[in-house]
Amino acid sequence: MFFIYIIQLLYVLGQDEDPIHTSILYGSSDLGYYYVNIYVGNPPQKQSLIIDTGSSITAFPCDACDQKTQCGIHLDQFYSRNESSTYEELNCKSQFGECTCLRCLSNLCGFSISYSEGSHLEGFYLNDNVIFGDLLMEAKNSLDESISRKDTSVRSVFGCTTRETNLFKTQLANGIMGLSPKTNTSFAFPNIVDDIHQQHGMKLFFAICIGRIDGYMTIGEYDYSRHQHNSAYYTIKYQPQNHVYGVKISQIRVNNKTILAGADLQSGRGSFIDSGATLVNAHSDVSKALINFFVCNSPNCPEKQFQDGLACYTYNKTLHGTFEQFISFFPTYQFQMENNFLFDWTPNDYLTKDIFIHDAYCLPVVDYYGDTRMVLGQVWMRNWDIGFDKESQTLTFVKSNCSSDNLKHNFTTDDWFKNELNYSILTVKQRYPPKNVDQEFLYEAIKIFIVVITSIIIILIIVYIRKRKLNKKIKKPQKLPELEDESQKNVEQKVVVVR
């Protein structure tokens, strides 16, 4: 531990106040997602993108989308190709990283993605310069040459959205940043993490630290300056099957008592981390075990009620005192993982403010009505700086308050909750995980299958019609000789009579 601390200290001393690839995350559970800013083109145009470890595409509306009919109104202006001197379109034969264009659309490389809740994106791919995050943008505008010379944008592929529906159309953020393990494969173009790795020589690594409100994200390495000096780091392998960050949970315990065994948590498609999902979604056996475990025997227990399938508890200052006293009624769930790592999911992390009742907090666990799996969304990730290392296929966890401000470790529980109560509710929409992780390819395969079957049916109908017409034409000539024979017989008979 001392050796690790010395390495981290030397690393921090060798850095500026913030690593070059660090950016603020904006959002909350009220908003339903967390997003980061990138700057695209020359001159740079700001785009706000939801971070989604369950998706492989980065896409946002561009000037090819009709804002009135096809795309919604978002935080930032649509990306304008005409205003960027560095953009390039990708044709049907374009290759970038390990991926070659998979879908051709009017000689452009196109995409079409559908999500289980009904959202849909479609458009075509572009290639342009991209700067990750606000801190890099500040460096670009800085007169300090020692900072500015570090600022080298990367060449990156992204989707120019020309049509969006449902949540994508109504959300505040412009688009989505796909961070799944399947980027830069034969199935998907590289994302900005892959591009920074390839073009800047940095580690193929990114970290997400989600707070109750806002947070931060780093690319290339941990921002150790944001961790407390006595922080413990836990590393486990992730399972990349089905192109997600799967984690093996052997059991969930409370007070050293097992409430869920590994068989329940590893059945079906197992458990995986998805920053694009708002809550923890699990099949009913798991969700009921987590919800029903909380049994309060105190006369001042919080009142329980259900809101939209969530178990919620009303906070009463007279009965419960401070928020710190209020959350003391609730258990800490311990997720047992590899290398004896116990992931503590504390009430300070999981209690989520109800979007309808001002003084109620909920356990953010709901039933998942799809194939058997457990989706660990944003609320599960709270206050842990989680590092995703795509080279070693590992996840590293370090406890953090995930403040968007640097080195603020003095927040109390009361500070968090009071700040959350005062935070304006921007939307009441929750984001749900996809029922199929490889959704874009599944839907594309279904569309292709339908087109092929429809084409075959049309061809069969055309062949049938042509065959019938041909048969009619063949039958008509066959009748003519018969008529000629009859005429010939009549003539012959007349000749005989004359004779």
Residues marked active site are found at 52, 274
Residue 345 has φ and ψ, to the nearest 5°, of: -105, 95
Using omega within 30 degrees of 0 as the cis cutoff, is the peptide bond preceding 434 cis? no
DSSP lists the bridge partners of residue 88 as 127
Residue 67 has φ and ψ, to the nearest 5°, of: -65, -25
Chain mean position to CA 414: 31
CA atoms within 13 A on the CB side of 68: 0
Distances from the Cα of 351 to the Cαs of 251, 272, 386, 420, in angstroms? Answer: 21, 20, 20, 11
CA atoms within 13 A on the CB side of 484: 6
DSSP lists the bridge partners of residue 459 as none
Of 245, 246, 247, 271, the C-alpha closest to 53 is 245
296's CB contacts (< 8 A; 6+ apart) are 302, 329
* CB 173 within 8 Å of CB 37: no
* CB 192 within 8 Å of CB 202: no
